[in-house]
Structure 1
Amino acid sequence: MKILITGGAGYIGATIASALQDEGHTPVILDDLSKGRREFLHGRAFYQGDIADHGLVDRVFAEHPDIDATVHCAAKIVVPESVAAPLHYYRENVGKTIELLEALQRNGCPRVLFSSSASIYAPAPDARVTEASPVDASSPYARTKQMMEQVLQDWTRGDGAEQRVIALRYFNPVGADPQMRSGLQDLNPTHALGKLIEAYESGRPFTITGTDWDTRDGSGIRDYIHVWDLAAAHVAALVRFDEAIAPGSEDRYRVFNIGTGSGTTVRELVTAFQEVVGPIEVREAGPRPGDVIGCYTTGDSARTVLGWQPHHSLADGISDAMTWRKAWMDQLGTAS
C-alpha cells in the first residue's frame, strides 16, 4: 500500500511511517515542519506545506495517484496551550482538517485513518472506558478531536458519500521507535514522562500536578502505550480497513481505542521511572488548566477486529524514551 501521512515528520507520524515501511508499504509525508523534523523523513517522499493548501494536496495526488488511504496525524496537541489560545486550536485542528477532507474527496481518496484521542471521553467513576463510553471533552484541544470525529462521521453520511473513516482514540504514547529512527522531539515536553526525564536531567524535582483525584493514590491515571505499539495499530487498521468497514457498508465510520488496557497512576509512573532510571525528588501541586482525572481502556475491539495487541511494557517505554532523549540531545549538541 501507499499511504499519505499528514504530520508524518512528527513523533507519532514518523513512527507510523517507519512501521509501514518495515511491513513493505510506502509512506508519503505531508508536513509543515512546525513541529516535525526533517531528520525523521529517512528519504521518504515528502511535501512541505499546509494540509489546507488544496493546490499542494492536489499535487501530492497527481504525483502519487496510487495512494490507498490517508493517515491524518497533523494537529496541535498541547492542552494548556489550547486553553490559552483556543481559536488557534480550532483553526488548526478543525478548520484545516475540513479543507483537507475536501481535497481528499476531490482526489478520490475515500479511506481515512484519523488520529483521535481518549481525552474526549467523559470522566468515568472508575476511569475505565470502552468505545461505547460517553464523550464530553474538557479542554479546547480535546474538543477539537471530539468535534472532528463528529465532522468525519457526518462526512461519511453525506449524499453519495463513499468515504470510510476509522478513528483511533490514542491513550498516552510513550517511548520511541526501538530502532531510534524517531522519538519525542520537543525539548520542553508537557506530558508526565517527558517532565520526569526533564527533571531527572536537570536535577530538579518532578511535580505531580493534581493529588486529590478519585484514584487509588490521588494522582491522575493514564493508559501509557508504547509508541511502537501505537504505530503497529495503524498498520493493522490499514491492512484490515476493508474488514473493519466493508465497501458499501451502511455505517462507514468506526472507532477503536488504542491502549494497553491497564491504568497507571502518576505516582506509579514515578515509581516505574525510578526503577528504570534512578531516584528523583518529587513534589506536589494542584492540577494544571485543562487537566482531568484521566482514563484507561478496557475494550478489546482492536484485538478482535484488527488483530492487534500491545507488546511493549511501560518499562520498555521509559527505557526507549531515555535512550532516545540522550541520542537526540547528543545530535542537537553536535549540530550546534
Structure 2
Amino acid sequence: MHTRPLGTDGPQVSEIGFGAWAIGGGWGDQDDTTSIRALNTAIDRGVNFIDTAAGYGDGHSERLIAEVIKTRKESVMVATKTPPAPGPWPPSPYCRWQDRYSAAYLRDNIHQRLTNLGTDRLDLLQLHTWTRAWNDDPQPLLVLRQMREEGKIGLIGVSTPEQDQSSVIQLMRDGLVDVIQIIYNLFQQEPVAQILPVAAETGTGVIVRVALDEGALAGKYAADHVFPEDDFRSRYFAGDRMRRTVDRVDKIREDAKTFGIDQEYSLADVALKFALARPEVSTVIAGMRSVAQVEQNTRTSRLRDLSEDMLLQLRRHHWHRGVWYSGKD
C-alpha cells in the first residue's frame, strides 16, 4: 500500500482509505462481525486511514472502529465528522451559523465523537457540510481552532457541500482548514478546475469521496437494478438514474478494452486510479463493508498508474448531471 502526505503538515496516509459509512448502517443489512472482519483486513493490507462520521449509524460506525483500533498495534488515523444542528442539508444561504454550528453545539457534539472513538484527541475533525454564506464569518472553524489549542482536535477539515464544492476555496486560501473532503470521480471532474490547484497552492490535504459513485463505477449494477428501501442507494439512483448511469459506465468499460487493460484492471481499479492520478489527492476513501470489498479496493494501490493517453480519454466521461442527493431530476 502506497502512502501520501495529508497536506503539508499532515501525516503519511494510505492512498486508499476505508470509507466507514456502510458499517454504521444505511446501506442495507450489515452485521458487526462482518464489519469488524473488514476493518481488520484493511489494516492488515496497509490501510491506515479510516473515515467515519456522527451520522453513520448515529455513532455506530465510530464505536466499531474504536473497538477494532484498541486491539491493533498499528498507527491508524481516524477522521470523523460533526454534522450541523437540524435544518436543511446542505445549509441554505439563509442559515445562520449560530443556529447550525454554534460553539456550544460543536463542543457537545465533538465530546460525543471523542467518547464514541474512545480517545482524548481526534486525529481529524471535519464539519460534515458547509455553506458559502459563512465564508466571511467562519466562526465555527475558529471554534475548532480553539479546541485544537485545547488538545481536543488534531487537524481541521470541511467536507464539501455537494451543490457548491467550490465554497471551500476561500477557506483554503484563508488558512482555515488543513484538509478538505471532496467528491471527485470519472463523472464529477469539476474539482480540477480550481479546487485541486488551490489545494496544491495552499498545502491543503485532499480526501476524495464517492470515487466509485456509490458503487456504480465498479460496473456491478444492471440497468434494472433496484435497491431495498432501507439502502441509501435506493434514493441516490431513484427514477431512471440507474439506467442512465449504466449506459455511461459501459462506455468506460469500452475505454478499458481499447487501451488493453480490461483483463488486468477492474472498472473499480480504473475509477480509483483516475482519482489517484491527481498529485493533490492525499487519499481516496472507498466504501468497504466486507473482506471481498477490502481486497478489491486495496489491490488498486499495487497496480501501475494509468497512462497519460488513457487519462486524457477518460476526461470525456465528465457528466453535468446536477446533484442527485435530493429529488429525482
TM range (shorter): 0.3 to 0.5
What TM-score do you get using the length of structure 1 for normalisation?
0.34
TM-score by length of 2: 0.35
